[in-house]
Amino acid sequence: MPHPDQTALPGDGLVRISRAALIRLKQRGDNLPLRTIRVRSRRSGAHLTRLRERGMEFDEARLYQPGDEIRHIDWRITARTGKPHSKLFRVEKERAVILWVDYRAPMYFATQGRFKSVLASEAAAMVAWSTHKVGDRLGGLLFSELGHQELRPRNDERTVLRFISLLADHSQLPPRPSRPDQRQEAAGSALARIKRVARPGSLIFLISDFRDLSASSATHITSLARHNDLILLRLFDPLEAELPRAGCYTLSDGDRFVTIDSDDRNRRLQHREHYQAQQSHLEQLCRQHGIHLLQCASNDNLSTVLQLGLGRQRV
């Protein structure tokens, strides 16, 4: 009898993904240039930003000695003791890489390629493997309208495998209806939680379709960007960007069916403008706050987008 992890699921890799399939992404993850960020391919939808250099972290303060740099004087301790003190630093050994992964209802959708939820799981798994390879601590927060599951940052393979199991489990959840306000509240709560968990200097990946991004969620993202390096991976389906040429089209999630009539030119135009407005809002948010934005369609090659998006310039 095959091991459960080796058993393929119906629709595996398209509408859901198994733990075994995510484990097999290890080599692709190992090849990701996680500590680089040079990208800039229009095709990958990336914005030019530069991540903080991994380097030095505060160790302790000691009495000032001749030759110490003035900029390293600890003025607080100097004022308290009446004697000049200098800050000592050490090389930062590891950082926390935290993956915030969206599994709200609209993520279980695609008309071409794979469900956005599958892409999110694959992207998170590849980054998780890359994190482990470079010796950083992996943490995660997976959320939906029903709540969230959290993984505290740790540096061991057991944490990676636990995280991958959570990704697979979430990708296999049945779609459930939800209201826009429920979805916005879920995203806002999950971002607020990341703010409480992430230590300054963390590298945080936000993986979502970022549909109907609320003002409160945008505020949380802005706040996170002040003290951490942020990479946003926006996933979308081509139909969300552009309705097909005139005609009637039936879509199904395997349970329910909906028919789209795209004969109305005004409707097609409104659909396109709504999408472009959301996209412009997210791009502007990222430009203003130094956030690195990657965009991947459901029928794109995810590995290529990540490779190009994380670039080749060491940070």
Residue pair 170/65 in contact (Cβ under 8 Å)? The answer is no
Residue in the block written with tokens 């005609």: 247
The amino acid at 287: R
Contacts of 79 (CB under 8 A, 6+ apart): none
Residues 144 and 278 in one domain: yes
Taking the CA atoms of 78, 83, 86 and 88 in sequence, report the sign of the dihedral they define: negative
| 156: DSSP letter | S
Q: What value does the mean pLDDT take over residues 110-137? A: 95
Number of H helices, E strands in the chain: 10, 10
233 compared with 66, residue with greater pLDDT: 233
| Closest to 86 (Cα-Cα) out of 95, 100, 75 | 75
Encode burial over 160-173: b for 16+ CB neighbours within 10 A, e otherwise. Answer: bbbbbebbbebbbe
Q: What confidence tens digit (pLDDT) does each residue in 12-55 have?
A: 789 999 999 999 999 999 999 886 433 333 333 444 444 554 54
Question: Residue 10's pLDDT band (boundaries 50, 70, 90)?
Answer: low
Q: Average pLDDT over the chain, rounded to whole? A: 84
Q: How many domains does the chain have?
A: 2
- Evaluate whether residue 124 is within a structural domain: yes
| Domain termination site, one of 91, 109, 144 | 91
Q: Which domain holds residue 182?
A: 4-52+94-310
- Evaluate whether residue 260 is within a structural domain: yes
- Evaluate whether residue 315 is within a structural domain: no
Q: What confidence tens digit (pLDDT) does each residue in 203-226 have?
A: 999 999 998 899 999 999 999 999
Question: For the chain, what percent of residues have pLDDT higher than 70?
Answer: 81
Residues 193 and 70 in one domain: no
Q: Which helix (DSSP H) or strand (DSSP E) does residue 150 occupy?
A: strand 147-154
66 compared with 115, residue with greater pLDDT: 115
Q: What confidence tens digit (pLDDT) does each residue in 243-292 have?
A: 877 667 666 544 556 677 666 778 778 888 889 999 999 999 999 999 99
137/157 Cα distance (integer angstroms): 10
